[in-house]
């Protein structure tokens, strides 16, 4: 679950939320939710070809299979 980023591994400080856990002990907690929202999922944000993309180019939103697939998602 740590590798899937569902949980995150942290070390207890012995204070605050960790007051009941010895300081230095490895603990797990639910990973914080992403704050990016829907815009984070736009494929353009992580595309390695974004510098070559243009409306009239060979690589464009009109020809991008990832962009088309993203537009068809049910939000």
Task: Tell me the CA distances in angstroms from 14 to 8, 30, 69, one per residue in order.
Answer: 17, 18, 47
Handedness of CA 9, 12, 13, 16 (dihedral sign): positive
Look at residue 74 in the predicted model and tell me its pLDDT.
65
Look at residue 60 in the predicted model and tell me its pLDDT.
92
Q: Where are the domains of the chain?
A: 1-33, 36-75
Look at residue 40 in the predicted model and tell me its pLDDT.
66
Task: Give residues with Cβ within 8 angstroms of 25, minimum separation 6.
Answer: 11, 12
Question: Which residue numbers in the chain have pLDDT < 50?
Answer: none
Q: Is this prediction's pTM over 0.75?
A: no
Look at residue 41 in the predicted model and tell me its pLDDT.
72
């Amino acid at each position: 679950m740590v590798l899937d980023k569902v949980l995150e591994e942290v070390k207890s400080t012995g204070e605050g939320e960790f007051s009941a856990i010895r300081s230095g002990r490895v603990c797990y907690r639910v990973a914080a939710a992403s704050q990016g929202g829907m815009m984070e999922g736009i494929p353009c944000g992580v595309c390695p070809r974004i510098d070559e993309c243009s409306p009239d180019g060979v690589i464009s939103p009109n020809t991008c299979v990832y962009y088309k697939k993203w537009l068809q998602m049910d939000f």
